[in-house]
Amino acid sequence: MYHPYLRGKQYDLITVKEMAPLMATSGFRPIIEPVRETLTGLNKALDAVVAAHGQAIVIVNPHHGDLSGAGDSLTELLNGAYLELPSISAGILLKQETTLKEALECYENHKAHNPVFIHAGFGAPKSLAENLGEFTKNNRHVFLDNLSMKLYQKHFKGAFRVLVKDGFKRQKRNSDYPDLEPFSDLHATFSEEGMDGFGDFLIVGDEFSESGGPAYAVAIHLTFIDHEQDDMMFIYHFKSNQQATPKDPAGKFAEALAKMMAIVDAPGSKVLDTKAIKEFRALHEEGHYPGLGYVKKLSMNHHIETLADYFAHSA
């Protein structure tokens, strides 16, 4: 059903690890694109998925970060341990520059690994579908919304199809985010789009950046589903007041968090009281700043918990 797409940075992987049991019981299947050379975080995340009897897709030819263009070493690492397991699938990323030959080679190498195609701008869908023949139907196909048209997706009709749409509208500077904006309705509409599953890039967005440097404003991103508005998902952006210098991220976090708690704890709040929110509340009470990566992780956890709750109650 839900396929959260995560670039495997440290905290993305911790989210996968911590959310593994909930994702397993909810039938969620994370797609992980490894970006770090050290694979310990990835191993821990996948161990947690396996221990929870969950499922995951790991991209074996990543596009971003340390490992881009070095899929072979990654394949080597994964082949030994995880890809032999039926619950861990090999994700084959099909970019614009990927040739049909490369795609089919990668498929051949991972035929036994329950391969999933991630369509991200690939130029030869028809030939790929023809070459795969009947096998197409046994494979899962994930389409990145902005990179593949309906006509493209048609070639893979009959297979398990997943549409990934980036609900997060990234801004150049944190101070540019509106206080509140629509996020996505795909969780409520994917079956009407003829899809068997859906996904998003959580609250990070489909834009890979290595570091970004110190931020002048701190922003906490928080999603919620509005049952009074046809279950549309919205996102709050809570921003710090101080924005003139990159100094004092901790103090800025406290400012943003105070704004967030005022909304979350207001009577009739539409934000689900998740485990992540409880942790935010504890940080607010202690006046403690755990670091930006940790805050991002809490926002991601909250997003997954919110969607898990939605499907638990809509089924």
Partner 1 sequence: MSDLAPARLATISRMFSSSVIREMARRGKSPLFTRLVSESRLSTSISRSQRVSAVFDAAFSLLKREGCRDEYIYKTALTHNILLGKHSLNTASMLNEFRVGECKADIAILNGTSTVYEVKSERDSLVRLEKQIAAYSRVFAQVYVIGADNHADSVARLTPSDVGILRLNSRQQITTVREAADRPDWTSPVAIFECVRTDEARLILQRLGVPIPVVPNTKLSAALGELFIQLDARKTHDAMVQVLKKTRNLLPLSDLVAHLPRSLHSAALSVPLRRSDHARLVAAVNTPLETAMAWT
Q: Which residues contact partner 1 by CB under 8 A?
A: 37, 65-66, 68-69, 210, 245-248, 250-251, 253-254, 286-289
Q: How far is the CB of 251 from partner 1 (least distance, A)?
A: 5
Q: How far is the CB of 128 from partner 1 (least distance, A)?
A: 22
Query: Considering beta carbons, is residue 152 or 216 the nearer one to partner 1?
Result: 216
Helix, strand or coil, per DSSP, at residue 58: strand
Q: How far is the CB of 254 from partner 1 (least distance, A)?
A: 4
Query: Considering beta carbons, is residue 89 or 240 the nearer one to partner 1?
Result: 240
Please write down the HEC assignment for all residues of 285-299: HHCCCCCHHHHHHHH
Please write down the HEC assignment for all residues of 204-221: CCCCCCCCCCCCCCCEEE
Q: How far is the CB of 11 from partner 1 (least distance, A)?
A: 18
Q: How far is the CB of 200 from partner 1 (least distance, A)?
A: 27
C-alpha pair distances (Å), 87 with each of 54, 115, 182? 7, 11, 34
Phi, psi for 51 (deg, rounded to 5): -65, -30
Q: Using CA atoms, how far apart are residues 15 and 280, in angstroms rounded to an integer?
A: 15
Helix, strand or coil, per DSSP, at residue 156: coil
Query: Considering beta carbons, is residue 37 or 207 the nearer one to partner 1?
Result: 37
Helix, strand or coil, per DSSP, at residue 280: helix
Q: Using CA atoms, how far apart are residues 160 and 215, in angstroms rounded to an integer?
A: 41
Query: Considering beta carbons, is residue 27 or 121 the nearer one to partner 1?
Result: 121
Query: Considering beta carbons, is residue 48 or 295 the nearer one to partner 1?
Result: 295
Q: How far is the CB of 286 from partner 1 (least distance, A)?
A: 6
Query: Considering beta carbons, is residue 193 or 248 the nearer one to partner 1?
Result: 248
**Cα torsion angle, 49, 50, 55, 61, sign:** positive
C-alpha pair distances (Å), 100 with each of 53, 123, 124, 146, 294? 34, 8, 7, 21, 40
Question: 74: exposed, middle or buried (C-beta count within 10 Å: 0-12, 13-18, 19+)?
Answer: buried
Q: How far is the CB of 224 from partner 1 (least distance, A)?
A: 25
Q: Which residue has tokens 């869908």? A: 125
Question: 146: exposed, middle or buried (C-beta count within 10 Å: 0-12, 13-18, 19+)?
Answer: exposed
**Structure tokens given for 226:** 């509005």
Q: How far is the CB of 29 from partner 1 (least distance, A)?
A: 30
Query: Considering beta carbons, is residue 218 or 304 the nearer one to partner 1?
Result: 218
Query: Considering beta carbons, is residue 51 or 250 the nearer one to partner 1?
Result: 250
Query: Considering beta carbons, is residue 121 or 251 the nearer one to partner 1?
Result: 251
Q: Using CA atoms, how far apart are residues 145 and 228, in angstroms rounded to an integer?
A: 27
Q: How far is the CB of 308 from partner 1 (least distance, A)?
A: 30
